[in-house]
Amino acid sequence: MLSRIAQVWILLLIVGSLNPARPALVVGLHREIHWMAFGGAAFLLLLLSRNRRQEIRSVIAVFLLGLSLETLQHLIYRNTMEWRDVRDNALAILVTFALYRLTAAGKIVTKAVKATAPVSL
């Protein structure tokens, strides 16, 4: 189920990024939408990762997807390259990864403490 959600999320991210029409709401919340879209994509792929290597590959893949989409917008629509969007995507991905690792590390520490705690009678 989570895999399907991630697939749909990434598909909508691609379609939304390459859509030439920009409603006023989207223009007004442009940066926030980048943070939500790319941070969300990274989070979903992190949840599907089984080990640290897959986690790293996931965040790199989401970053490269964002860079590719910005490059395609530049080439298709003849816009200037939006480096601020690339930066926002990268920051959203990095913050998501950092928070994910901190919470994952916290869960591991909690499990380790519970496993070594003495049993009281």
pLDDT tens-digit map of 47-60: 999 999 999 999 99
The two tokens of residue 24 are 């006023």
> Which residue in the block uniquely carries the two structure tokens 């999320």?
9
CA distance 78 to 81: 9
Task: Check residue 22 and give its pLDDT.
Answer: 78
Low-confidence ranges of the chain (pLDDT < 50): 109-110, 113-114
